A and B are shown apart, each in its own frame.
Chain A
Amino acid sequence: MNKTINQKAWYFVIPVFVLVAFNAAIPLMTVVNYSFQETFGNNVFAWEGTRWFKQILLSERFHASLGRQFAFTFIILLIQIPLGIAIALTMPKKGWGVPVCLILMSMPLLIPWNVVGAMWNIFALPDIGFLGYSLNAMGFDYNFTQQPGDAWFTTILMDVWHWTSLVVLLSYAGLNSIQPAYYQAAEIDGASRWATFRYIELPKMKKVLTLAILLRFMDSFMIYTEPFVLTGGGPGNTTAFLSIDLVKMALGQFDLGPAAAMSLIYFFIVLLVCWVFYNLMMKNEAQS
């Protein structure tokens, strides 16, 4: 068969090329460019090779913020995923309760990130904030601006408040897609509530939970605005997660080279973890 040659179709692809170029490729390439050079004023550059990468990978500051980042992400996943599933399980399946719950659940997701940070900042102030004042009135020595433990507690609580809803909504959708016949079959078998959850609900929610964990991992691993507004990375550097540290380095100290190298390392870590995680989940999927 003769193929007709029609190169005009390429015109349709051009807008996407341009968009992706300006949106992703060109900015990323400038970062790559910075990461291999020393930058002086007046657009003067000097080639540095892989020096910044070595420096970052060996720096204690980077290790510390990377450690904090993993700890934070790990803790919030550990809280949000089970909590989200638990809330989804208790939500009504029909009646007027459904829209009420769904709207209440999506509220936190609709609030801009910096507003969440500002809200919680005021909410948690030890002298006038409702949370801070109440905790102190109950006899806890609570001050998130000065005590690292309190700062972590507040940041985690804020993130749980802001993002558990996402896990709830995804789990709820997963649960709703299970046909009632499955529950009846389990009931007829005499399965306990736990067995029903373990052998019917959990396997049936697997796909949405994979999605929820991936989304929550990426989002929390790149978290910036909320802790920046809430604690500014403080007290000291105790809540300076990777992105906060990165911005400090890039804009605060104007170390463009190391900051660019750090960005790229950061980017590859996110990519790597997602890839590993996704493949692990999908490997199980292929087996079953």
Chain B
Amino acid sequence: MSLELKNIEKKVGINTHIYSTSLKLEKNTINVLLGSTLAGKTTLMQIMAGLDKPTSGEIWFNGKNVTGMKVQKRNCSMVYQQFINYPNYTVYENIASPLAITGVNDDEIKQRVGKVAELLKLSGMLNKKPDELSGGQQQRTALARALVKDSDLILLDEPLANLDFKLREELREELPKLFEDRDCIVVYATTEPSDALMIGGNTATLLEGKVIQYGKTLDVYNKPENLISAKVFSDPPMNIAQITKSGDNCKFTDNDVQWKSSAKIKDGTYKIGIRPHNITTYKEGNNSVEINGKVQISELSGSESLIHFTNGNLNWVSLSNGTQQKNVGEDTKLYMNTDEFLYFDQNNRLVNNG
């Protein structure tokens, strides 16, 4: 089983929503579409589902061309950001609805709904209406509806975005388990890099209607092909600076901070990307380098501290473990773990990928 998009393009009027895109999603995988709002995640999903037709290009499913085939014939299910359930059906009837429509017999419906309800912890509320449930339970009902029908393709469009923090964490942990022994392709759209990392599987980074990079989630994270992909897959935003390299010595263009680099790249000028958690208030790794910063904002979340600081023209973010109390305006020393630096050439392509 596989889902393949071949040179899919979507135009609405004079606006291009999806630029020519090719993607191949394999059976039994979870695929994360990662990108900010308006990156084209939802459009791409609707094209995958058959809710929307591509302007050009083809969609192949299991070796068959399904471009233009109606969604009803495609055996897929979708979960939305908003909690979509039939308002005057009970939870049981809601979960049963996709089966009832296809004419599955009552005994089997009962058995399958029971199983899914248990999996999603809905057993106790099968007789309630969606209005009587909390947001988390409503979304579980919607998930149950998507899972009950043994779809070939399950699309999750930011399913956790409207949930409060606790519920989001809880459901996010459970999600990958739900799909573990299923014979299907799962596509999960999200704006949050942490979602992609927790879910694992494969990730496609998207920006403004273009798929930037697709591959195993950890590969995309650790070895972003280019600066754009790295930026999309970084939250808080990645710190970027111009550097010059000569021999083993590297130096920022904007200040005097220097370090020895083991990256096997030619001398010249590069852009580097530093993820916020590689700049800390304490030394990490064997090759850390000190940088002075003037604290702009200091956000403490308890387990982590986010410190925005400036150094000359640089306006950076650092992320340290624990509570690191800093006052605004204070001059402080921070340490960069140079082993984790990502070097990009002037065309924004990653060069130290070996």
Contacts and interface: CB of A to CB of B under 8 A. Distances in A.
Contact of A288 (B49, B78, B129, B145): B129
A182 interface: yes
A185 B78 contact: yes
Contacts of A184: 46, 49, 51, 71, 78, 80
A13 interface: no
A198 B205 CA distance: 40
Contacts, number: 51
Interface residues of B, number: 23
A199 B98 contact: no
A190 B72 contact: yes
Contacts of A179: 82, 84
B282 interface: no
B138 to A, nearest CB: 13
Interface stretch (B21-29, B85-93, B316-324): B85-93
A190 B77 contact: no
A175 to B, nearest CB: 14
A103 interface: no
B118 interface: no
A187 B84 contact: no
B102 interface: yes
B347 to A, nearest CB: 40
A189 B77 CA distance: 7
Given A288-B129, A288-B131, A188 B88 contact: no
Given A181-B80, A288-B129, A288-B131, A187 B86 contact: no
A36 to B, nearest CB: 49
B71 A288 contact: no
Interface residues of A, number: 16
A189 B80 contact: no
A204 B86 CA distance: 10
A135 interface: no
A185 B89 contact: no
Contacts of B77: 188
A205 to B, nearest CB: 11
A191 interface: yes
Contacts of A190: 72, 98, 101-102
A181 B84 CA distance: 7
A188 B76 contact: yes
A203 interface: yes
Contact of A199 (B46, B81, B86, B145): B86
A185 B79 CA distance: 8
A264 interface: no
B97 interface: yes
Given A190-B98, A191-B101, A203-B88, A185 B131 contact: no
A200 interface: yes
Given A182-B84, A203-B87, A288-B131, A187 B101 contact: no
8 contacts: A185-B78, A187-B71, A187-B72, A189-B98, A190-B72, A190-B102, A191-B97, A203-B86
Interface of B: 46, 49, 51, 71-72, 76-78, 80-82, 84, 86-89, 97-98, 101-102, 129, 131, 145
